[in-house]
Structure 1
Amino acid sequence: MLLKKCLFYGLMLFYLYTLAFNIFMTDTLRIPAPVIFCMLLFFVQKPLLDFGYTKELIIFLIGVFLYQVVGMSNYITFFAILLTIIPCSLYFNYFVGANKSRYYASILMFFFLLMCSMIIMVLDHSMAGTIDPIRSMLLGEPVKQSPAGLAVTQFNFGYQVVAITTFAFIASCTTGQYLIVRVLVLAACVVCIYLGMNRSAFISFGAGVTLFLFIYYRYRAVFLVAATVIICFGLYTYVLKDNTDDKNNILSKNQAKEANDFNRADMAAENLKIFADYPFGLIFYGKTWNDVTYRNPLFTFGLSSHNAYLMFITLLGPFLGLGLLWAIYYKTVRLFWQTIKNVKHKESAIYVAIFFTFIAISLNALSHNGWLMSVDGPTIFIYFAVLHYNRLKDPVKQTEPVQEELAVA
């Protein structure tokens, strides 16, 4: 029994590890890492009878094919993305199924991994010579940017920062923690954002948390937002400013970016010009992104506008692009109103935190190429976690009559 438990939690941890840190295939691991999920099928207990994500997978297949294959001529990335999305949907439908314990265990384990990544990032600021080789070893490939956590670049790491900070702070509120605990969690979040050197993470965290506060606390949120700003300002002034690296932080990076000609606003404006030249989408003109940008000084070496949604619409056009975006996010938009109604229910505490985390990481895609359809960072796990919560409510009708095993949760 002990061996079975160790194998169970070991496989579960390993799969979530590959999902959280975008580990697909490395020099050591010569098979696609998400395929390891197949071993978890030996531990299926209460699978859902009907596969609940057929429509989502079809939409992902169409969207990723049109974007990666037709628009970018990138076949390898297309198959890699599918080999990540499909096992994730199977993980929730069959491995998690109607088992609430596995659902919450998966979420807590996933965010524990992200927390470990934050700790590595903090250490990387002062011990880069020691930490960077460890990062490379844990990721299975050389790291390109530092300081960061378990991510090859700081851009990918930004999604981890958004996810863990938004989830941690909102969960501390919804689970009714003491005020001092919430303040300490907020302080930890501010440190992660400040040292994480990702401006979009700060904006996404702020937007997601502010929206939550106004929905959860209503008019009192005005005072809470003001108090949060004061706490953040005080933490920066009296703790971070004089006790951390004055070069590798979000403020110094912002100053460096302002001096750089390649800023997000100019890139977005140039992207809109390309969209105006090809209003029905590049794929309908037989063009790829490289075809229309190879002479553009802003988009050298395949650089894009760093706005995932704008890029998606530019390649697929407003009708097909917006249609696919609506199809992907339709269920989450519909769940938003249901979440608002149940925002203060204790049994929904973790789900509410997950849902607003999904909003935050979706906003983060406005400043990056990576997003849900490219399965960057924790995006795909959080997406299916949001959708799956409502499938846990009626386990009798939706699951196989498999007897619970007491040995494995």
Structure 2
Amino acid sequence: MEKDPDYRAAALIVGVTGMVGLTLAEALKKPTAPGGPWKVYGAARRALPTWFPSGLLDHFIAFDATNRDETLQNLSPIASNVTHIFWVALQIRETEQLNITLNSTMLTNVLAAINSASDPQLRHITMQTGTKHYMGPIFDPSLSTQLVPHEPPFREDYPRLPYPNFYYALEDLLATYSHSFTYSIHRSSIIIGASSRSLYNTILTLSVYATICRREGLPCRYPGTLYTWEHFCDMSDARVLAEQQVWAATTDGAKNEAYNCTNGDVFTWKSFWKVLCKVFEVEFVPFDEKDKFDFTELMRDKGRVWDEIVEEHGLYKAKMEDITCFEALQTVLHFEFQHVSSMNKSREFGFFGYADTLKSVRIWVERLRQMKIIP
């Protein structure tokens, strides 16, 4: 593809159908986007879902980044155009060692394809990771019971933990390319946004849970502990993440650094639960430590109920197990520490984006409804 003189920069968003991929495309296509006007290429493993806004991308490419030949074949036509890569993709397997192998392979293949151009233009890559950087592989059953996380609030200058972590592997891989282009690392908290294609989607998981509770007349009980109910947590609005990534990609003094990215506030799950219940018009049930239940087990057999809801409301057709993460959320809601990150470094470098988390809940639930992912 020939270079387009109407654009100052060309972005390749890898993982464009996820929560942050969608908001990145929207942010880059704003007339006021820093570094713009942007040509935006979007990439994902599967075809665009029906809820993805038509016309938001200049070009969409579907390919399997774990396959080197397929990646080269699909990206070589645009390789000489791409100036920035926004990496918001991930694949998760049973063990962290498999995660390291798989995700490193994906990044290696994409970088090799873009750098295959006779005159590569790649200037910067933003890499989204998360607070697992400070906690270790919390979803690896062979390692999760051994983990000793850092003390919160998490800070970017904390040393690495002595456990395998695919975030570390990706950071090290980017560092080997430091002579060719700049990069920035963006460590999100629990992401709140709208997509049916994000592996860990807390707000969609809770939306499905509340919707089923309302339909079946079940109490919308909090599936965590008294500690997480009462103590502080933080989240990352997908819009704030996109804003920070575009800022880092276009600000000279922000490059080659790692940044936490949260909304800048904290909340308790008790306050979050009150908002959730109000939005879904279910009764708020105060947490009762005596009323123990297995969240994952409760929802295991609710797939049929969700299928009925999808059919009745004409929703985007997706199986409940493909759009929820009950087991992962149950792990988060049983943390024995406050899940909070410091935003001081980000502010010191000049990024001041923020969001009110409890207002974000309403905004993103409404967006999920508009997208016909939930009723």
Q: Normalised by the size of structure 2, how large is the TM-score?
A: 0.29
Q: Which has the higher contact order (CA 8 A, sep 6+)?
A: 1
Higher helix share: 1
Q: Larger % of strand: which?
A: 2
Pair member with larger Rg:
1
TM-score, normalising length: structure 1: 0.27
